[in-house]
Amino acid sequence: MGVITLVMLGSLVVLAVAGAVLWGQQAGRADPSAVLRAPTTGHPLGTDRLGRDLLARLLAATWPSLLPAVAATLLGAAAGITLGALTAVVDGRAARLLGALITLLLAFPALLVAMFLAALFGAGTGGAVCALAVACAPGFARITQTLAAQVAGTDFMAAARVLGLRRHRLLLRHVLPHIAEPLMLNTTVAAGSSLVALSGLSFLGLGTQPPSYDWGLLLSQGLDRVYTEPLPAVAPGIAIVYAAVAFQLLGEMLAGAAARQARPHPVDEPVAHPEPVAHLVRTDRPASVDHVLEVADLRVALPTADGVVRPVRGVTLALRRGEMVGLVGESGSGKSLTALAIADLLPDGARATWGRHRFLGTDTESLSGKERRRQLATGMAMVFQNPASAFNPSLRIGTQLTEAVRAHRGTPRAEAVEQALAQLRRVALPGGRRLLRSRPFQLSGGQRQRVAIASASMMRPGLIIADEPTTALDVTVQRQIMDLLRRIRRDDGTAILFISHDIALVADACDRVLVMYGGTIVESLPAPELAAGARHPYTRMLVASVPDLAAERDHPLHSIEGGPPDPSGAAPGCPFHDRCPHRLDRCAVESPVLSPLGPGHEVACWQPPAAAPSHGRRENEEAQK
Amino acid sequence: MSTGSGLALYDVTVRHHGPLGPITAVDGVSLDVPQGTTVGLVGESGSGKSTLARAVVGLAPLCAGRITVSGREYGGRRVADRRRLGQQVQLVFQDPDTALDPRMTVRQSLAESAGAFVRLDRRSRDQRIGGLLDLVGLDTGCADRLPRQLSGGQRQRVAVARALAVDPAVLIADEVTSALDVSVRAALLTMLRDLQRRMGFAMLFISHDLAAVRHVSDAVAVMYLGRIVEIAAAESLLSGPRHPYTRTLLSAVPSLHAGRRPAGEPLLAGEVPDPAAPPAGCRFHPRCPVGPDRHPGRDVCAVRDPQREATGRPHRAACHFPYGTDDRPPEARHVPPDGDGDRTPRTPEDLPS
């Protein structure tokens, strides 16, 4: 398509530049002996009433047809963009007035305004261009206003205001560069419409006046004898359509190029297993009947704009019935993608491979797609980080709470509503049926998250995956949510995989903690041991970096030097080795495997440093009290 | 109450125009942040702490009250007024991803800020940018990168550098650590404290993370529904909170150290009231664990605002029935886990309704 567009545009440019030079004379030469001729070989489109060759006139009219259209668009765009962008940098009242003005101008149909103004300015090319510019300005102003409003609300604009930058600087430096791309697309497309509109004005006699001529005027003149001789009317029409389509295609091409810049490369290579041997050992362990979920050697590959990354590289975990397991890690550690892979919710293009994936006692690999979705829908539920976007804002709470049981269990409506009411009572939300009739935006964040938990436990699932469910909430609400999750775990025997970056919260709430780093689990230990008994250097540094209300205030906080590991996962060795204070030569070459260290305690480290570091001793003593 | 230097707020009131009429987001807040010290401002979402920050830097217009910086009052809404204020007060935003213009390199962002009030030639500007990057512990190689090529922690350091480029007398840090990972968070907190020691600006540190606030602040103020309910020196407030709201807030903070989870500290009942129609009297009374709902006869809470009685003492709590200073702080109690590993011995009846 790009080639076609470029060929069409190129031909237009060549015609516009060369047309008047090559055919200008022929187009103006009157031949009284050949008036109103039908198409012949000498005159492929025939002649007009003065005997001038119509093909020559058509080709010579390219420049006078295109130039006014482009000029009108640019003038209109300049005026409209200025008006619209001003709304982002002026203060409240002026911005509202400008907005009202734009809305008012938009209320008039553009073509009618153009005709009215063209008549007012006087017939002629100049008048038509001005009229069209004024007519298309409000459209540009509105688009610019909408785009600029998005920029005006950002923090970097607020920061620029706090710096006291002057308005023209705000406009030129911060607003316009961000909206330039869509505006350029829009201008290109508008040029096509302007050409059509301008030809329309000429056709109506409001634009170009004889003896000048453009495509619109040629069309108008040809129309007089369209029934006897269609070609003199059809040819200018084709020229107009050709040019308009060329502009539209250019717009499409620019839009496509802009979109391609942002689009990631797909995963085309097979997901490689660099060191499968070490993990296979663990995959062969006998499956325990008590386990709700067993995952072995989970790997995820994700395409991004900078190439394929491997955010999860061999995760093995198992959850027993009624167990609450915390999955802790920093951003980019792969904890959320692990959860999404388990729930079969990976984003498009991502690929997951498993050594083993057993859920509720069945091997999910052996199930068909439909059975698998059904098993996940009835046996697993998710609670997401942002309660504001976890619900469909246009549906009532009741509909969203009951749809899963009604769809999968075939529960009648009345019974489903009763179950929903019971769940709402359990999450301590008052209001009963009134709440079921409300819509998500009527609830606070904490209430919404409680509804999300009620919704998750409607199916009495074997496993709830809670992905940062309290991160967007206040501490007091956070505590309510944690208490709720614990209650559901205790009452229903539901296993909970609790994903969080908040190591203190996880230590406080969970039975067991899995620490993730660089796409692998580096340590698995009982939660009470986290504060003092962690053995992996990363876990220890993480613990030391958490400010604690109970610790000495002047006790310095430790931070972990260096950056996160390479997301492409190409480097060999332990992912933490370049930041690790205890590293050995071996660490850079060979990746350690999660191996047992004590009861319920596994570490992936070649030489785990001894427990109870000096700064943890005080806490250790207190924990033993 | 003002010491003349640093930031001082007198009865600052800020109103928004909500869809259902005006909302008083900040209601008569007086606060003093002396030069070279940090005041932590704590509160839950909707308490008005971010609105207060925006009001101080002039992004939200004051409805009543005065704000002075180094003893001078800054008001007016013209660009010139804003520039005078911008030279004195700078704000660091919560989310480093959006606080920097994604199309400007670090150098351009810093140059814009450094050149906002003083004209710099090319050489002195490059020097200044190098100095700023050094100040926040970034490599000069970062200067020509775009924000998306930096990590979250590095972006936040650039945002701090941009704010400090104008050499402000007051720095406002609005939830600067909440979007960062723990390991990076610690480094940023330490850096802020360090910078303050070296540059001597007054800092208003707004956060909902009490542990972080404790780490950097000299004094702490607790906000609830647009008002400051308790203010005191950091250690005094956090180890001996006197206002019941502060106590519930503190008791809800999770701790790494198992078994520390307090029990018997009542959870807050109900939801935060609608700020468009706040409760009469003490704003906390409908949810208060020591208020009229749980202790009959304390009707005064519903009638009289305790705000006025609380002025003039070093540890001020806006409460008619504050906890004594000798009451044990909530986090010191020890509760053994029960059979399920559940350390909350509460029954369903205790749940908030």
Distance of alpha carbon A140 from alpha carbon A247, whole angstroms: 17
Tell me: the pLDDT tens digits for A143-200?
A: 999 999 988 888 899 889 888 888 888 888 888 888 888 898 899 989 989 999 988 8
Would you state the structure tokens that stand for residue A246, as one six-digit string?
Answer: 């060329």
CB contact under 8 A, B256 and A560: no
User: pLDDT tier at A269 (50, 70, 90 boundaries)?
Assistant: very low
Tokens at A368, concatenated: 């068909």
> Which residues of chain B have a CB within 8 Å of the CB of A505?
254
Phi and psi dihedrals of A557, rounded to 5?
Answer: -85, 140
Chain A segment 315-344 residues within 8 A of B by beta carbon are 330-331
Task: Return all residues near A395 (Cβ < 8 A) that are at least 6 apart.
Answer: A439, A440
d(CA A521, CA B252): 29
Query: What is the mean predicted confidence (pLDDT) over B244-267?
Result: 69
ipTM of the complex: 0.81
The alpha carbon torsion through A328, A334, A335, A339 (nearest 10 deg) reads: -170
| Residue B278 pLDDT | 82
State what percent of residues in chain A have pLDDT above 90: 21
Say what the pLDDT of residue A391 is: 87
Contact criterion met (CB < 8 Å) for A486 and B344? yes
* Number of cross-chain residue pairs from A and B with Cβ atoms under 8 Å apart: 200
Confidence of residue A291 (pLDDT cuts 50, 70, 90): confident
pLDDT at B332 over 70: no
Q: Give how far Cα A144 sits from Cα of A111, B35, B184, Å.
A: 21, 44, 38
Instruction: Quote the pLDDT of residue B219.
Output: 94
CATH number at residue A147: 1.10.3720.10
Taking Cα atoms as reference points, which of A357, A356, A338, A363 lies closest to residue A281?
A356
State whether residue A508 sits within 8 Å of chain B by CB: yes
Predicted local distance difference test score (pLDDT) of residue A97? 92
Count CB neighbours of A601 within 10 A.
18
Each residue of B119-128: pLDDT tens digit?
888 899 999 9
pLDDT of residue A282: 43
CA distances (Å), A91 to each of A79, A99, A167, B312, in order? 20, 12, 10, 39
| CA-based nearest residue in chain A for residue B57 | A162
pLDDT above 70 for B201: yes
Q: According to DSSP H, which parts of B16-105 are helical? A: 49-56, 79-88, 96-99
**Whole-number average pLDDT of chain A:** 84
Provide, as residue numbers in chain B, all residues whose Cβ is less than 8 Å from the Cβ of A94. Answer: none
Facing B259 at nearest CB: one of A160, A502, A623 = A623
Phi, then psi, of A339 in degrees rounded to 5: -65, -45
* Nearest Cβ partner for B100 among A156, A162, A177: A156
Q: Is residue A48 part of a domain?
A: no
Is A160 in Cβ contact with B112 (below 8 Å)? yes
Quick check: is A98 in a domain? yes
Residue pLDDT, tens place only, A333-354:
888 889 999 988 888 888 888 8
Candidate from A59-63, A128-132, A567-571 with smallest mean pLDDT: A567-571
Across the interface, whether the CB atoms of A483 and B151 are under 8 A apart is answered no
Any B CB within 8 A of A503 CB: yes
Give the sign of the dihedral formed by CA A594, CA A499, CA B98, CA B62: negative
> What per-residue confidence (pLDDT) applies to B38?
95
Pairwise pLDDT comparison (B346 vs A440), residue with the higher score: A440
Q: How many degrees, rounded to 5, is the angle at CA A147 between CA A142 and CA A150? A: 130
pLDDT of residue A376: 85
Architecture of the domain made up of B7-228:
3-Layer(aba) Sandwich (3.40)
Across A44-55, average pLDDT: 86
A481 at the B interface (CB within 8 A)?
A: no
B233 vs B225: CA distance, rounded Å: 22
Give the strand order in the sheet containing B219-224: B89-92, B170-174, B202-207, B38-42, B219-224, B227-233, B316-317
Query: Quick one: average pLDDT of A367-373?
Result: 83
Picking from B116, B208, B268, the nearest residue to A165 by CB comes out as B116
Q: What is the pLDDT of residue B136?
A: 92
Query: Which of A236-250, A585-599, B32-46, B249-263 shows the lowest per-residue confidence on average (mean pLDDT)?
Result: B249-263
Domain extent for A83: 64-257
One-letter amino acid at B353 equals S
Q: Is the pLDDT of residue A212 over 90?
A: no
What is the chain A residue with the closest CA to B351?
A: A428
Q: How many Å apart are CA B52 and CA B34, to the nearest integer?
A: 17
Q: Do the Cβ atoms of B211 and A622 come within 8 Å?
A: no
Residue of B nearest to A430 (CA): B353
| Cα angle B199, B203, B208; round to 5 | 140
Q: Which of A160, A487, A527 sits opposite B258 (nearest CB)?
A: A527
A452 falls within a domain: no
Q: Let me know: does A331 contact A354? Beta carbons within 8 Å.
A: no
Q: Which of A240, A257, A274 is the last residue of a domain?
A: A257
Residue A357 lies in a domain: no
Distance between CA atoms of residues B102 and A174, nearest Å = 10
pLDDT at A578: 84
SS3 (DSSP) at B118: coil
Q: Helix (H, G, I), strand (E, B), or coil: what is residue A41?
A: coil
Query: Judging by beta carbons within 10 Å of its beta carbon (0-12, 13-18, 19+), is residue A346 exposed, middle or buried?
Result: middle
Q: Which of A164, A474, A546 sits opposite B82 (nearest CB)?
A: A164
Number of compact structural domains in chain A: 2
Give the residue, B180 or B39, on which the prediction is more confident.
Answer: B39
Whether A426 maps to a domain, the answer reads no
What are the E-state strand segments in B2-74? 7-18, 21-33, 38-42, 64-69, 72-73
Distance of alpha carbon A494 from the chain centroid: 33
The stretch B2-14 carries a mean pLDDT of 81
Confidence at residue B308, expressed as pLDDT on a 0 to 100 scale: 61
Work out whether strand B72-73 and strand B227-233 pair parallel, antiparallel, or are unpaired: unpaired
Residue-wise pLDDT for A470-493, tens only, equals: 887 888 888 888 888 988 888 888
**CA distance from start to end of chain B:** 41
The total number of residues shown for chain B amounts to: 353
pLDDT tens profile A76-104: 999 999 999 998 888 778 888 999 999 99
* A625 — pLDDT class (breaks 50, 70, 90): very low
Provide, as residue numbers in chain A, all residues whose Cβ is less than 8 Å from the Cβ of B215. Answer: 547, 553, 557
Residue window 98-117, chain A: list those with CB within 8 Å of chain B. none
A602 occurs within a structural domain = yes
Look at residue B334 in the predicted model and tell me its pLDDT.
Answer: 40
Which pLDDT score, from 0 to 100, does residue A265 have? 52
Sorting pLDDT into bands at 50, 70 and 90, what band is B197? Answer: very high
In this structure, is residue A273 part of a structural domain?
A: no
3-state SS class at A61: coil
Q: Mean of the pLDDT values across residues B331-347? A: 40
* Rounded-to-integer distance, Cα A570 and Cα A555, Å: 38
Res. A109: pLDDT tops 60:
yes
ω into A210 cis (within 30 of 0): no
Burial (CB < 10 A; 0-12, 13-18, 19+), residue A172, is: exposed
Mean pLDDT computed over every residue of chain B? 81
Helix (H) or strand (E) holding B232: strand B227-233
Q: Which of residues 561-600 of A touch B (CB under 8 A)?
A: 563-564
A544 located within any domain: yes
Residue A541 has pLDDT above 80, yes or no: yes
Query: Domain spans of chain B?
Result: 7-228, 241-332
- CA atoms within 13 Å, Cβ hemisphere of A196: 15
| A191, A224, A257 - which closes a domain | A257
Highest mean pLDDT among A428-432, B77-81, B111-115: B111-115
- How large is the average pLDDT for residues A379-401? 87
Chain A nearest CA to B304, separation (Å): 26
The pLDDT confidence band at residue B348, using thresholds 50, 70 and 90, is very low
- Give tens-digit pLDDT for A548-585: 776 666 667 777 777 777 777 667 888 888 888 888 88
